[in-house]
Structure 1
Amino acid sequence: MLIELTINDKKVQWDVAADDFLADTLRAHGCLSVKKACNTSCCGLCTVWVDDQPILSCSMLAVRANGKRITTLEGLQEEAAAFAKILTAEGAEQCGFCSPGFVMNVLAMKKELKNPTDEEIIHYLTGNLCRCTGYMGQLRAVKTYLGVNSER
């Protein structure tokens, strides 16, 4: 089945099978930041933006992306680098396996939420699992990146 979509601002046509998942299709076409781990939509590693909304690409069929605008971490290098500097400065970088999906959600959160509380940040990131951290360093980094007022 031929689908037409925009990947990181580039129009493409891809031939996909009816049962191909978007995460697999993206990886097959060079978007290697898109990872899969749980295959149950629980870990957040496969997060991409579809029409500027974060989604779990391991549970979306590629055919459903027809006509959509898809953004992966490869299309957000400047924004990702800015957040990565803060993540490192806060001592919150870990092995990096979960980072692409986590970063995609943090960047989406910056567009969506204004001066969120700790609870709102935690709720927004609930689906992002990290195997190596206690999340406190990441929370500090997210708050710094979002410019959250700490005296709330």
Structure 2
Amino acid sequence: MRNFTCLLAFVFFSCAKNGNSNPARQNEINAKGVDKQFDSGSQFAFFHELKSNDSVLLGKAYVAYKKDSIFDRLIILGDKNDTLYKVDKSKLFTVEGLDTVVNPDGFYGYKSVSKGNDHFVIVMANKDGNGASDDIEIAWNYEKKCFEILRIP
């Protein structure tokens, strides 16, 4: 009986310790919560962790892959799972509303070009995975304290 009690205690503490402290598990949990932001059936995967110049976490990005490295939906979540930026097919949104609309004719998805600490660059892609647009850089605006498309004046 004592061995059984020790075994139960070991199992209990092992499960409690592993809870949500595992970063991969936390990313999986956050990605599942993202599904509510879009049409049902979207499967999201962790894409990129965004940090400020002084290494403070700004948000985590998740994408819904259509094929290989091509995705059509993206969301950046803050530390309270609040939406900081959203890409829903051909429409891109800031926290303030619509950021821009890309040409929906022949739209298939996006692929990643590069990733930095506080930004990432994507490009529209055709079904073959070839780039079909100029780069779109989504970056943290330190003055406005939000993510948006970086526009060159």
TM-score (norm 2): 0.32
Larger relative strand fraction: 2
TM-score (norm 1): 0.32
